[in-house]
Amino acid sequence: MTAEVAQSRTSKRVATAVVAVVLRSFVDVGAAIKALFRASNAASVERRSESAAVETEGVAASQIPADAEVEADAGIRPTAHNELSQQEIERRRGLVRAFFNDFWSGMHDKPAAFGARLDQAEDYLNGRLTANGEVWRLDAKTRIMLGLPPRSS
The answer to whether residue 3 scores a pLDDT higher than 60 is yes
With a cut of 70, say whether residue 60 has pLDDT above it.
no
pLDDT at position 54: 47
Q: How many CB atoms lie within 10 A of CB 13?
A: 10
For position 118, what pLDDT does the model report? 94
pLDDT, position 64: 53
The answer, yes or no, to whether residue 40 has pLDDT greater than 80, is no
Total residue length of the chain: 153
Burial class (CB in 10 A: 0-12, 13-18, 19+), 52: exposed
Would you state the torsion angle of the CA atoms of residues 28, 30, 35, 40, taken in this order, to the nearest 10 degrees?
140
121, 100 in Cβ contact below 8 A?
yes
More confident residue, 55 or 100: 100
pLDDT digits (tens, 9 = 90+) for 11-29: 777 777 777 777 777 778 7
